[in-house]
């Protein structure tokens, strides 16, 4: 099992840690600009120093533009950090809602539910059904956080190693996309535009469905029937075969996640330290070729290519999977109310915790769908580019050959703030400075939910009256709860009054 805990001991040598830290700096993202302006400053300095021409003028614009640019860069950085901080706050809200919902379900939902009308069950079977229900719902709480992580990264679908096993049993809702799709379907396959089976914009379904049982690499074709007026399930994406075995009663309400994927690459691993490694094609300007090669069917190495493949394989019915999971969580609460097994205050707490999760999801969507206005961003970059272009012409009369390092430092300051602001403007991706969403979903939510469900809900008698609870009222008087009961109520009240 991989580790994504940022507070875990760091592995690797000093060189590896240094390179990791260097990749997180702004230099890695703006080095082409730094190289260009340093070369430009060098050319201006050499021309002036050799007396070929006098390329300089008074630094009046330096003061005026520098002041304006400083205010604009400060605002840009502040706005980006506010989005970063708001994203972290909303993820804390998801963690809070997950803890509250799981704790209330595991401790406050009774172990015995009424037997449905017309059915006969033993007490053991009733307890087993309740435990299965509760554990399944808590798994959906974990799935909600994981689905939000992939949803924010534009990774639609369920074929991820940390998500598929949690949601593959859920029938699909035809929910609209909560975020703009990051996949340009029109650029992928011309045949997709001719397919008569199209639903929800960019979700394309081919007319044929290849399904069956995986036995030694062979597939037996099945021709399922679909309800009148409903499109066939998206179990056969473009250029992808699916293997599944379903009872006839389930073929009418099936989704891609029902298929137990066995083809190589169908279950998509996360892009982490155990997944795709960094490759030369992740470096600029080679990274510009990744999209071009991927669209032409080339198997490209690197993290950027892995993310593109994940997006292209994720044409499914449901775009907003976290919201869909919240509907199933709500259906469980409604079932508890219908059975009358939880009092109204407990049901209210469950609904409030679920509302906390959906509220956080809505806030995260707001961050992603409200970018910095394009005109403002273009104007800011234009001013910064012009300012640094004329900077060597204005400072050479004063600094001479020191214009070269001075231009490099000034360019790094301005462009460093700009690229850092753009990186944390969307803090949910794979950049070095983005929020560690894998840590939130795996090390916090998942491990805490596993710890909660590892033991049955404890009864207060088992721990309050334990023989090891022998320092109830003071450190000096070591007496077990049974001994205090034998002493009587008077000594207990006296001990309570003793300071």
Q: What is the pLDDT of residues 146-188, one digit of tens each?
A: 999 999 988 877 888 889 899 988 887 877 777 765 443 333 3
Tokens of 389: 């272009």
Q: What is the pLDDT of residues 411-449, one digit of tens each?
A: 888 888 888 888 888 888 887 778 888 889 988 999 999
How far from each other are the two terminal CA atoms of the chain, in whole angstroms? 50
Residue 499: per-residue pLDDT:
60
Q: Residue 243 domain-assigned? A: no
- Name the average pLDDT for the chain: 74
Least confident of 117-126, 233-242, 325-334: 233-242
Residues 6+ apart with CB under 8 A from 497: none
Main-chain dihedrals φ then ψ at residue 404, nearest 5 degrees: -65, -60
Main-chain dihedrals φ then ψ at residue 203, nearest 5 degrees: -100, 110
Q: What is the pLDDT of residues 56-68, one digit of tens each?
A: 777 777 777 778 7
Average pLDDT over residues 486-499: 87
Measured torsion, CA atoms of residues 29, 30, 35, 37, in degrees rounded to the nearest 10 = 170
Q: What is the pLDDT of residues 101-133, one digit of tens each?
A: 999 999 999 988 887 777 788 888 888 989 999
Where in the sequence is the domain holding 467, given as residue range(s)? Answer: 463-497
Report DSSP state, residue 465.
T
Contact 148, 364 (CB under 8 A): yes
CA distance readout (Å), 5 to 2, 124, 205, 438, 441: 9, 40, 39, 8, 11
Q: Residue 488 domain-assigned? A: yes
Query: Which of residues 238 and 60 earns the better pLDDT score?
Result: 60
Spatial distance between the Cα atoms of 237 and 207, rounded to a whole number of angstroms: 10
Query: Which of residues 333 and 76 earns the better pLDDT score?
Result: 333
**How many independent structural domains does the chain possess?**
1
Residue 343: per-residue pLDDT:
92
Q: Residue 474 domain-assigned? A: yes
CA nearest to 144, candidates 108, 110, 114, 102: 102
Q: Is pLDDT of 361 > 90?
A: yes
Q: What is the pLDDT of residues 281-323, one digit of tens each?
A: 666 666 666 766 666 556 676 766 676 665 555 455 567 899 9
Model confidence at 7, pLDDT cuts 50, 70, 90, reads: low
Q: Model's pTM, two decimal places? A: 0.69
Spatial distance between the Cα atoms of 438 and 470, rounded to a whole number of angstroms: 42
Q: Residue 397 domain-assigned? A: no
Q: Residue 279 domain-assigned? A: no
Contact 417, 72 (CB under 8 A): no
Q: Residue 467 domain-assigned? A: yes
Residue 9: per-residue pLDDT:
56
Tokens of 428: 């949910």
Tokens of 265: 């690459």
Residue 404: per-residue pLDDT:
93
Q: What is the pLDDT of residues 208-231, one digit of tens each?
A: 222 222 333 322 222 333 333 333
Give the other-Cβ count within 10 Å of 130's Cβ.
16
Q: Is pLDDT of 494 > 80?
A: yes
Q: Residue 489 domain-assigned? A: yes
Residue 53: per-residue pLDDT:
81
Query: Which of residues 463 and 351 earns the better pLDDT score?
Result: 351
CA nearest to 483, candidates 470, 499, 497, 494: 470
The gap from C-alpha 129 to its chain's centroid, in whole angstroms, comes to 32
Q: Largest Cα–Cα distance in the chain? A: 105
Spatial distance between the Cα atoms of 408 and 397, rounded to a whole number of angstroms: 17
Cβ burial of 63 (10 Å; 0-12, 13-18, 19+) is exposed
Q: Is pLDDT of 200 > 50?
A: no
CA nearest to 151, candidates 81, 230, 80, 94: 94
Query: Which of residues 401 and 310 earns the better pLDDT score?
Result: 401
Q: Is pLDDT of 385 > 80?
A: yes
Q: Residue 64 domain-assigned? A: no
Tokens of 363: 């806030």
Model confidence at 94, pLDDT cuts 50, 70, 90, reads: very high
Contact 214, 264 (CB under 8 A): no
CA nearest to 441, candidates 150, 57, 24, 187: 150
Spatial distance between the Cα atoms of 106 and 164, rounded to a whole number of angstroms: 23
Percent above pLDDT 90 for the chain = 26
């Amino acid at each position: 099992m991989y580790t994504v805990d940022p507070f875990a001991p760091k592995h690797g040598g000093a060189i590896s840690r240094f390179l990791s830290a260097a990749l997180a700096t702004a230099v890695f993202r703006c080095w082409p600009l730094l190289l260009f302006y340093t070369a430009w400053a060098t050319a201006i300095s050499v021309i002036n120093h050799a007396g070929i021409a006098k390329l300089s003028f008074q630094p009046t614009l330096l003061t005026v533009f520098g002041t304006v640019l400083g205010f604009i860069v400060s605002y840009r950085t502040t706005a980006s950090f506010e989005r970063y901080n708001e994203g972290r706050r909303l993820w804390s809200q998801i963690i809070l809602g997950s803890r509250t919902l799981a704790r209330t379900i595991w401790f406050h939902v009774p172990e015995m539910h009424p037997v449905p009308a017309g059915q006969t069950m033993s007490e053991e079977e009733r307890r087993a059904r309740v435990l299965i229900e509760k554990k399944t719902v808590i798994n959906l709480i974990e799935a909600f956080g994981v689905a939000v992580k992939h949803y924010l990264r534009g990774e639609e679908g369920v074929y991820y190693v940390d998500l598929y096993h949690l949601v593959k049993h859920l029938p699909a809702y035809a929910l609209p996309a909560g975020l703009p799709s990051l996949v340009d379907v029109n650029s992928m396959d011309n045949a997709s535009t001719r397919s008569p089976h199209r639903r929800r914009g960019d979700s394309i379904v081919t007319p044929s469905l290849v399904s069956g049982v995986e036995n030694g690499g062979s597939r037996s074709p099945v021709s399922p029937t679909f309800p009148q007026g409903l499109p066939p399930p998206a179990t056969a994406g473009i250029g992808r075969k699916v293997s599944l075995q379903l009872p006839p009663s389930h073929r009418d309400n099936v989704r891609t996640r029902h298929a137990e994927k066995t083809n190589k690459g169908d279950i998509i691993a996360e892009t982490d330290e155990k997944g795709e490694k960094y490759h030369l094609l992740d470096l600029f300007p080679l990274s510009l070729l990744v999209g071009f090669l991927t669209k032409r069917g080339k198997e490209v190495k690197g993290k950027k290519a892995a993310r593109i493949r994940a997006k292209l394989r994720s044409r499914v019915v449901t775009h907003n999977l976290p919201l869909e999971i919240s509907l199933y969580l709500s259906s469980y609460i409604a079932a508890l109310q219908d059975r009358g097994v939880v009092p109204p205050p407990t049901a209210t707490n469950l609904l409030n915790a679920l509302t906390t999760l959906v509220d956080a999801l809505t806030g995260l969507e707001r961050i992603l769908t409200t970018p910095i206005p394009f005109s403002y961003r273009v104007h800011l970059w234009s001013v910064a580019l012009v300012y640094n272009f004329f900077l060597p012409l204005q400072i050479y009369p004063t600094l001479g050959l020191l214009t070269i390092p001075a231009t490099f430092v000034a360019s790094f300051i301005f462009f460093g703030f700009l690229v850092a602001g753009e990186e944390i403007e969307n803090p949910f991706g794979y950049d070095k400075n983005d929020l560690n969403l894998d840590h939130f979903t795996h090390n916090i939510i998942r491990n805490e939910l596993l710890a909660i469900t590892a033991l049955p809900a404890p009864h207060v008698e088992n721990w309050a009256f334990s023989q090891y609870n022998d320092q109830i009222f003071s450190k000096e008087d070591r007496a077990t709860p049974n001994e205090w009961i034998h002493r009587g109520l008077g000594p207990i009240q006296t001990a309570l009054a003793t300071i």
